[in-house]
Structure 1
């Protein structure tokens, strides 16, 4: 199966400091790729390069065969909005919106009618065990529930790739495993590729492909056959 996202020879530097050094990585539809490594090793920087948020100084990133370097700012913004999803360590929900409205946000930003967007969000929230919380605000639900809402928001528009930066880092071990289980099952079921940055080796062990990153150097550690 062809890689939906492929990066070859990626380089990123801030002045004389090389944060990412000729990294190669690719993911197929429905595949989970985990990147582990110590703090400051360049994991998150690489993730944001792959998502088209940080411009690279060398190498090439291709999404569905097209180089991100060929896209202008408006095309990159549309790509991140419509084809990519994002999950962050603390969820980053909008406090003034309900759980359902937060989950529906990518669809609303893409121009979908409110009723249709909320219906789609409700379906995903139901699969994550949050159907009864749709009308609550983020301040009225637990940390684990907030992170499930963030997962719903990342997957509601059926993106081709989700970029997850320490998505369970703020949760206790029980909630972390529960959220991860739901995240991976839902992503695989809809054929979404996931690039996951984590410090947790137990979480990385759940991935199909595992990388480590040390001082900007990315190394393939192993791949599972599903």
Structure 2
């Protein structure tokens, strides 16, 4: 679904939820904001820089260093431990292994996962795996985290716990969160709520649901 005439601003530390039916364009909008998909008209700016004006190397560096990502199924690398998965953004940014692992371990401990550091993704539960994905997205203290249905694969109890930890840690770091979800309860935790319909973005109102 194409995104049309979307106008959205994200402030530091703000949590924005985007809801809408499947195929409404909400994931496309998320990936445009993250610089993963190019925009045919208009522009996406981050800290005064137009994403469309950056070359591939500059855009990759921006996504690696200033953005974080959380997806529905975690997308952990199976050959790495929980701690190594969490430390990956720091390692890609050139941080030494020992320092990166120490930082990753501290974030995992904040999320109640310290005892799982040496396990592989296949050795943890779905809820634990998603917590690890949250830790990985936030370990380098990004300016923005883009989350695409981050609790969609979890049962309600795990979804609530993961979301609570995610938003608490993000807000404590001053990290903005742009969250795509179909769950009204998840969207209700956001500071700002938009709804997508047929590629169009509008502030959420009760009578629009």
Q: Per the shorter chain, which TM-score range?
A: over 0.9
- The DSSP-based 3-state class of the residue aligned with 1:164 is strand
CA offsets 1:171-210 (integer angstroms, 9 cap, x no match):
0000000000000000000000000000000000000000
Structure-2 residue corresponding to 1:156:
139
- The DSSP-based 3-state class of the residue aligned with 1:196 is strand
> What's the offset of the Cα at 1:60?
1.2
Structure-2 residue corresponding to 1:115:
98
Structure-1 residue corresponding to 2:182:
199
Structure-2 residue corresponding to 1:131:
114
Matches within 5 A, 1:1-226: 19-221=2-204
> What's the offset of the Cα at 1:168?
0.2
> What's the offset of the Cα at 1:42?
0.5
> What's the offset of the Cα at 1:67?
1.0
Larger helix share, 1 or 2: 2
> What's the offset of the Cα at 1:69?
1.6
Q: How many Å separate the matches in 1 of 2:158 and 2:117?
A: 19
What TM-score, normalized by structure 1, do the two folds share? 0.90
Q: How many Å separate the matches in 2 of 1:220 and 1:59?
A: 20
- Structure 1's consecutive aligned runs of 4 or more residues displaced over 3 angstroms after TM superposition are none
Q: How many Å separate the matches in 1 of 2:168 and 2:85?
A: 21
Q: Structure 2 unaligned segments of length 5 or more: list them.
A: none
Identify which of structures 1 and 2 has the higher relative contact order when contacts are C-alpha pairs closer than 8 Å and 6+ apart.
2
Q: How many Å separate the matches in 1 of 2:2 and 2:173?
A: 33
**Corresponding pairs, count:** 205
What TM-score, normalized by structure 2, do the two folds share? 0.97
Larger strand share, 1 or 2: 1
> What's the offset of the Cα at 1:221?
2.0
